[in-house]
Homo-oligomer: A and B are copies of this chain.
Amino acid sequence: MTLNPALDLTYTVDALVPHATHRVGHVAERAGGKGLNVAGVLHALGEPVLATGLLGGATGAAVEARTRPPHRFTAIGGETRRTVTVLDGVDATGLWEPGPVVTGEEWAAFRAHYADLVKDAAVVVLSGSLPQGLPADAYAQLVRLAQRYRCRSVLDTSGEALRLGAAAGPDVVKPNADELRALGPDVPKPGAGGLHALDPTDTAVVESHGPRGLIARTPQGSWRAAPPEVVTGNPTGAGDACAAALARGLRDGTPWPRLLADAVALAAAAVAAPVAGEIDINHYRATRERVHVQPHG
């Protein structure tokens, strides 16, 4: 589920020079947004998945046309945002449009649509930033709706949306270490404390440490999972591949050590894939039995 998707444009130029005009050599265009990446990974793995969220305008139509997994979005009056990433020989420069302002009526329409979907779903993944106009507790509302229909939930966001959403008690929160630190006074000690206001008997905290793997504190115990080797590549979408693995494992009741190994391997397979939001399936198969998982804390 992606409340704030984007049309991701990637431009290749020789060198980005401020205040000059550049002829773009190559343009790549894809449906962006963390939840769309999660759905894309599950779809590539052959899992039944439905992508949803908010889309509007011509840019929203372009995102929908480029969304490969099955999807049912809610239409909004505003225009879905674009992101422009300019690649030169050195690194990436990002330009992020502010995106639409969602009205109260649109948010109510989405919640009704979402309630219909979670009735029939085993797990929902709630990913990414909130568009303008939504209440800060939007994810908390969606977590509670999922609970009402006995649908499990994975929350992957940051800042106030994470703090308020986590307080509603999703099954898993998947912050990265930076996102946890950004919570300020609510920062838990990574791998030792917990998200403030979380009931540790209910919610698992799976904390991402980038290329060094995951630390999970769960009602069943705590583990550290690390990849067998460092993978070089494109880290965009690695966290979303990890969230996809968590969702699948929750649905299947996979024991945590095996689930965490799977999540680390899928994240590494996303880094190894050249295109953001995709996975290298052979890399995944070759890695998942070799992830180091050990009790922690």
Report the minimal beta-carbon distance from A99 to chain B, rounded to whole angstroms.
Answer: 9
Say if the beta carbon of A88 comes within 8 Å of chain B.
yes
Residues of chain B contacted by A20 (CB below 8 angstroms): 93-94
Q: Given A84-B84, A97-B11, verify A92-B23 contact (CB < 8 Å).
A: no
Contact A96 B19 (CB under 8 A): no
Contact B58 A96 (CB under 8 A): no
Say if the beta carbon of A286 comes within 8 Å of chain B.
no
Report the minimal beta-carbon distance from A63 to chain B, rounded to whole angstroms.
Answer: 10
Residues of chain B contacted by A94 (CB below 8 angstroms): 20-22
Per-residue CB contact flags for chain A residues 75-101 toward chain B (1 = under 8 Å, else 0) read: 000000010101010111111111000
Say if the beta carbon of A25 comes within 8 Å of chain B.
yes
Extra A-B contacts (6), CB below 8 Å, given A11-B97, A21-B95: A17-B93, A19-B92, A20-B94, A22-B96, A24-B97, A58-B62
Q: List 30 A-B contacts (CB under 8 A).
A: A11-B97, A13-B95, A16-B18, A16-B19, A16-B93, A17-B18, A17-B93, A18-B18, A18-B88, A18-B90, A18-B91, A19-B91, A19-B92, A19-B93, A20-B93, A21-B95, A22-B94, A22-B95, A22-B96, A23-B98, A24-B95, A24-B96, A24-B97, A24-B98, A25-B98, A26-B98, A58-B65, A84-B84, A84-B95, A86-B95
